[in-house]
Amino acid sequence: MENLEYTIYVNAEPEDVWNAFISPEGVRALFFGSVLKSTFEIGAPYEYVGPGNDGDETVHVYGTVLEFEPNQRMSYTEHPGPSYRENHAELETRVTMSLEKVGGCTKLTLVNDRWPEGHPSYENTKASWPMILSNAKSWVETGKTMDFGW
């Protein structure tokens, strides 16, 4: 399966883009009302938890922190939540987000790789990342998220 790779430019400082992905208000805005639970230490677990199949405490995705350099780079393994796939523990990918200051804006590069062959969430994830990244750009630049009609 092909790596999912995206690059966007956000008219903001790297710190502002970073905070959109880790602050409670940013995570709620970008990840459909979820909260991100983690200490962010290398090797620590993380979970995106929010409204879903199992009520308000649905684990949407979870994994392990691999890298965490504030305002620059984070990487983590990612599994679909238990209510999405019975074999969720076997379905591991890696997500790496890098931020780079370019002039007065920030280059955000996201790579979602290490897809096991036949991963059932691949197509859905391929469609979701552009929406999440577009939402991030909008939220950081305007303070508003986009309306995807859900």
Collapsing DSSP to helix, strand or coil, 136 comes out as helix
Residue 62: exposed, middle, or buried by beta-carbon count in 10 A (0-12, 13-18, 19+)? buried
Residue range of the domain that includes 79: 4-142
**Domain-embedded: residue 138:** yes
**Domain-embedded: residue 147:** no
Write out the chain's pLDDT in tens, 150 residues.
Answer: 999 999 999 999 999 999 999 999 999 999 888 999 999 999 999 999 999 888 889 999 999 999 999 999 999 999 999 999 999 999 999 999 999 999 999 999 999 999 999 999 999 999 999 999 999 999 999 999 998 886
**Domain-embedded: residue 57:** yes
Cα–Cα dist 9/34, whole Å? 24
pTM beyond cutoff 0.85: yes
Which residues contact residue 16 at a Cβ distance below 8 angstroms, ignoring those fewer than 6 apart?
A: 10, 106, 140
pLDDT at 150: 67
**Domain-embedded: residue 149:** no
Task: State the total domains in the chain.
Answer: 1
Handedness of CA 92, 78, 80, 129 (dihedral sign): negative
Handedness of CA 116, 1, 114, 140 (dihedral sign): negative
Cα–Cα dist 117/122, whole Å? 10
pLDDT at 78: 97
**Domain-embedded: residue 114:** yes
**Domain-embedded: residue 150:** no
Which residues contact residue 79 at a Cβ distance below 8 angstroms, ignoring those fewer than 6 apart?
A: 61, 62, 63, 88, 89, 91, 92
Q: In this structure, what CATH number is given to the domain that contains residue 28? A: 3.30.530.20
**Domain-embedded: residue 132:** yes
**Domain-embedded: residue 44:** yes
Report strand pairing: 35-38 vs 93-102: unpaired
H or E element: which one contains 18?
helix 14-22
